[in-house]
Amino acid sequence: MNLPHSPLSDACSFLFVPATQPERYGKALASGADGVIIDLEDAVGLDDKAKAREILKKTWPSISIDQKHRIIVRCNAPGTPFYAADLVLAKELQVQYLMIPKTESHDQINGAAEELENTAFIPMIETPLGLHHLNEIASAEQVLRLALGNLDMQVEMGMSCDENETEIDTARFMLVLASKLAQIAPPIDGVTPSTDDEARIFAHAQKAKRFGFGAKLCIHPKQIPIVKRAFTPSPEELDWAKRVISADKASKGQAAKVDGKMIDRPVVMLARRILALAGR
């Protein structure tokens, strides 16, 4: 299935909410987050998996159609005892977006697609095997964009990362490259555990943006405006981009300079990308 364009392809902020707390669904949708991820996986204890599905099923009819366009359901990982029941629920609710944690193969996506023909998938890459099969996962049908499970990846790889997670930068590059090759939306970076360290949240989001990510996962509403600010071009960037475009037009293909630096096709393309992001 060729996916139609989705607003979540351009979204830059995604907020998790536990499936077991329906009173927080509306608050999450009103938080300013572009997408809301109702979580059946990490936010739900092993003994509450069935209860979480029942709560989501009971609450789903009260959610408006417009709101459902912004909701992603994160199921449990393939291979767990809960995955099949999660797919059954997603099919019953006609979920538009399904986030699949610990995705490790093209076959897993195809298997989900057989059950959910009209659902777009966001595979989470958070294991060595997922990285190994990254290109085939990204190119599978119905994949909207990839997401990095940065904390699980560190554990799975036996890493102890610094505050900037420099040690998994290779994984970040691989997700961006695979997304480009598969011609899907830029990937979604993982969470920042801190909810109060605004500088750290902003730095992580800016780093993701510099790497070519298009969005970031959030665990608290306070992170949303910080992430959005990081992914939105600054006034200085917009001014620079406009001056580059103007200089390029004025030069009519001849050599031109902006701020004392030569501009060429890659620079002009970067300027156009900044203006496109500003209009997002």
Residues making up the annotated binding site for substrate are 74, 126
Residues near 277 by beta carbon (within 8 Å), at least 6 away in sequence: 231, 232, 233
Location of structure tokens 């608290």 = 220
The C-alpha atoms of residue 72 and residue 89 are separated, in whole angstroms, by: 13
CA distance 256 to 237: 19
In contact, 59 and 25? CB cutoff 8 Å: yes
CA distance 94 to 255: 54
Name the binding residues.
74, 126, 152
Cα 154 to Cα 131: distance, rounded to the nearest angstrom: 12
Quote the CA–CA distance of 45 and 111 in Å, as a whole number: 25
> What residues form the annotated binding site for Mg(2+)?
126, 152
